[in-house]
Amino acid sequence: MADTPVTPTINIHWILYPVLLAILLGLGWLWHDTQVRDAAIIQTVAAAKVNQATVDKQADTTIQQADQNLQKQNADLQASLQKAKTTAQQIALINQNAGTHLQVQEPTANDQAINPSQQPEVLVTPADVQVIAKQTVDFQEAENQVAADQLVIKSQDLQLTARDTTIADQNKEITILKGGSHWKRFWAATKHVAIGVAIGVAVDEAVRKK
């Protein structure tokens, strides 16, 4: 009598235990992943808020200091203009603020007799000097205003950038929280994994039956 070939049986535990272990590891990873995501977005939003508060404080200080400096600079200019009573003092004020090198020079009768062709074509009277001094101060005040405005605009741009970052991070947090609590999002992720596993098993069975 011929021996009947014996087909070795596979112990179900050799398959079941690794599968259960893989499922438990997968669930643990999903739980940890949702925790990490929650902690990361919370930390990101908190850091954005701290940065926004810091930028706002620095910007407010810069704007306040720029305004104080502007007022002091213009007050000093007006005080210098008030002190410039003589033509020489007014010309000195013009030279200081406009970067010019004007000089007071009174023509003499001897100069006119010797070389009349070198006489200036444009004569500036003391009244003209006074007007020019006032215009020079006004121009310098305008430049001070422009410099202060540039500081203000730069500070406000930094504030807007910091606020945009905070809003963007908060929107990300809201998007995540719309998924529900930690448990709800964990089970939702688990469901997606289970569906993927079920599809994989179904495909495998279909391939085996062919």
**Distance from C-alpha of 78 to C-alpha of 138, rounded to nearest angstrom:** 9
Q: Other C-beta atoms within 10 Å of 136: how many?
A: 21
The answer to whether 190 touches 27, Cβ cutoff 8 Å, is: yes
- Would you call 180 helix, strand, or coil by DSSP? coil
pLDDT at 185: 62
pLDDT greater at residue 125 or residue 25: 125
CA distances from 87 to 91, 101, 102 (A): 6, 14, 11
With a pLDDT cut of 90, the percent of the chain lying above it is: 39
**Distance from C-alpha of 194 to C-alpha of 186, rounded to nearest angstrom:** 12
pLDDT greater at residue 143 or residue 41: 143
The 10s digit of each residue's pLDDT in 150-196 is 999 999 999 999 999 999 988 888 877 665 555 566 666 666 566 65
CA distances from 196 to 28, 85, 180, 193, 200 (A): 17, 91, 22, 5, 6
The ranges assigned to domains in the chain are: 15-97+126-201
User: Helices 13-83 & 126-177, crossing angle to 10 degrees?
Assistant: 160
**Distance from C-alpha of 79 to C-alpha of 94, rounded to nearest angstrom:** 14
pLDDT greater at residue 157 or residue 202: 157
pLDDT greater at residue 204 or residue 129: 129
Query: DSSP assignment, residue 12?
Result: T
Looking at residues 11-16, what average pLDDT do you find?
53
pLDDT at 121: 45
Residue 103's pLDDT band, with cuts at 50, 70 and 90, is confident
The answer to whether 51 touches 163, Cβ cutoff 8 Å, is: no
CA torsion 160-165-166-172 (nearest 10°) is 150
Q: What's the pTM?
A: 0.61
The 10s digit of each residue's pLDDT in 60-97 is 999 999 999 999 999 999 999 999 999 989 989 998 98
pLDDT at 21: 66
What is the rounded average pLDDT for all residues in the chain?
Answer: 77
